[in-house]
Structure 1
Amino acid sequence: MGETRSIRTSDGGTMSAYVARPGRSPAPAVVVIQEIFGVNKVMRDITDGLAAQGYVAVCPDLFWRIEPGIDITDQSEAEWKKAFELFNAFDVDKGVQDIAATVADIRGDSTCNGKVGAVGFCLGGQLAYLTATRTDADASVSYYGVGIENRLGEAGKIGKPLLMHIAEEDQFVPKPAQAQIIGALKDHPQVTIHTYPGRDHALARVGGEHYHEGDARTAGERTLAFFRQHLG
């Protein structure tokens, strides 16, 4: 079971976060960046899973400025409607600032050894990319990030390793956008890209319509190997 942590943001607000800790410390930390459904069971399970792998894992409530405590699923039309309303109201720039505050907060925690990575999904996949361009996180992982093609002007700011998972049939990242992203980043010395043929958006969301156990496992193994290499 995890715990709730309060994090002070750069503009003086207070944001809650779900934290799961490993059996041993100090350990490297990973910031888990939510999808559009809030800090729900899927995100908490990912956070718990990273703790089981030896990381201090923390999932901040990035929708706190709109509505704190969002915890919905992808299982009903009403929840999807709510999720897209939150997505459309979300301030990406403020969100990245809140991620930077989370990185700084957990880096200073007594159970963290000073190394901090990030992993994000969907909206969080875009935010993970921006974490690589705008924060001092030591390594970032983006799962099927939405809207990255509109942020490629920041690619020159990537100074730490970034791993990207792209679903080739992603309905929210169409093939022209994928081509832009891959074309701009494939030769970047800090970027590693894996694509997943035949897979749609959210291939790794357990219980989701497009979940694929085999490719989710492959992506997860690649992510853990990446974190072990760059965080320890």
Structure 2
Amino acid sequence: MTQITIPAPDGGSFHGYLALPATLPAPGLVLIQYICGVNQVMRRLADHFAALGYAVLVPDLYWRQAPDVQLIPDPARPAPEDIQRALALNAGINDDLAVADLIAAAEVLRALPGCNGHVGALGYCLGGRLVVPMAARGRLDAAVSYYGVNLDSYIPEAEAGTTPLLVHVAGQDDLVPAPVRDALRDRLGARRDATVVIHPGVNHAFALPSGPNYDPATAIRANSQSIAFLARHLPAGR
């Protein structure tokens, strides 16, 4: 495990898990956690994207509440107390501070010797929400959102953004009402450089390995779309 320290824009600092590819320098990817922190699932995902050729940084978004917390290492066997803690930490997130932290993490990643100066971001659930305002406010080459919750509050900001954006939406997401899914498709999908994919018949967290809503076929399809999108906007060797 490689852990680096990231200065927060308003003081203090927090950690991030860093995974580097075999060939450097490489494009950078800020990988944004879901509600369980920088846990084993997120670290494995970081290692996976590093194997695809990205310098990957997973920032700890819970550092203001509980630094370096890691919950539910195996989604197939979640402890009830971990679920409750994850929900409480998620509820305690201040979006504006978290987005500022993510932008700071992206700039730290951009400045690393192993990064070629180009940086994108990809987030799941909590991260799937935060990556959208991050893309509107920060300096990214590309951004990918998986089943972000409460994204409706960021639609106007995202409509005015210019960062290439890919948004994955679960067609039967219990946490995202149908009118919000429709608004994401109609309003963000109208942007020339934004793509909204509504995946039919699947629920929230369909791409979370071993999770209760994991759908392998849809996860493979969505992940293939994400990899192609990143390869187009954030290619290695630039």
Q: Which TM class, normalised by the smaller chain length?
A: over 0.9
Q: What SS class does the counterpart of residue 195 from structure 1 fall into?
A: strand
1:76 to 68, 79, 83: 79
2:198 to 172, 185, 195: 195
1:148, distance to aligned residue in structure 2 (A)? 0.6
1:137, distance to aligned residue in structure 2 (A)? 1.2
- Equivalent AA in structure 1 for residue 90 of structure 2: F
Matched-pair contact (CA < 8 Å) for 1:134–1:157: no
What is the alpha-carbon root mean square deviation over aligned residues? Answer: 1.0
2:127 to 124, 127, 131: 124
Alignment of 1:100-139 (within 5 A): 100-139=103-142
Q: Corresponding residue for 1:215?
A: 218
Unaligned stretches of 5+ residues in structure 1? none
- State which drifts further: 140-149 or 168-177: 168-177
Matched-pair contact (CA < 8 Å) for 1:158–1:190: no
Q: Hey, what's the Cα distance between the residues in 2 that align with 1:95 and 1:22?
A: 26
Q: Corresponding residue for 1:62?
A: 61
1:156, distance to aligned residue in structure 2 (A)? 3.6
Matched-pair contact (CA < 8 Å) for 2:35–2:126: yes
Q: Corresponding residue for 1:143?
A: 146
- Equivalent AA in structure 1 for residue 2 of structure 2: E
Unaligned stretches of 5+ residues in structure 2? none
Q: Deviations over 1:12-50 (max 9, x none)?
A: 211100000000000001000000110011111110000
- Percent of pairs with identical residues: 37
2:102 to 99, 102, 105: 99
Q: Hey, what's the Cα distance between the residues in 1 that align with 2:141 and 2:200?
A: 29
Q: Hey, what's the Cα distance between the residues in 2 that align with 1:79 and 1:227?
A: 33
Alignment of 1:175-190 (within 5 A): 175-190=178-193
Q: Corresponding residue for 2:16?
A: 17
When normalised by structure 1's length, the TM-score is 0.97
1:195, distance to aligned residue in structure 2 (A)? 1.3
Shift >2 Å, 4+ stretches: none
Q: Hey, what's the Cα distance between the residues in 2 that align with 1:49 and 1:39?
A: 15
- Equivalent AA in structure 1 for residue 23 of structure 2: R
Residue 234 of structure 2 is aligned to residue 231 of structure 1 = yes
Q: Corresponding residue for 1:164?
A: 167
Q: What SS class does the counterpart of residue 154 from structure 1 fall into?
A: helix
Q: What SS class does the counterpart of residue 11 from structure 1 fall into?
A: coil
Q: Hey, what's the Cα distance between the residues in 1 that align with 2:158 and 2:211?
A: 31
Matched-pair contact (CA < 8 Å) for 2:185–2:197: no
- Equivalent AA in structure 1 for residue 214 of structure 2: Y
Q: Hey, what's the Cα distance between the residues in 1 that align with 2:17 and 2:11?
A: 20
Q: Hey, what's the Cα distance between the residues in 1 that align with 2:153 and 2:234?
A: 29
1:227, distance to aligned residue in structure 2 (A)? 0.8
1:76, distance to aligned residue in structure 2 (A)? 2.6
Matched-pair contact (CA < 8 Å) for 2:37–2:62: yes
Q: Corresponding residue for 1:50?
A: 49
1:111, distance to aligned residue in structure 2 (A)? 0.5
When normalised by structure 2's length, the TM-score is 0.94
1:55, distance to aligned residue in structure 2 (A)? 0.4
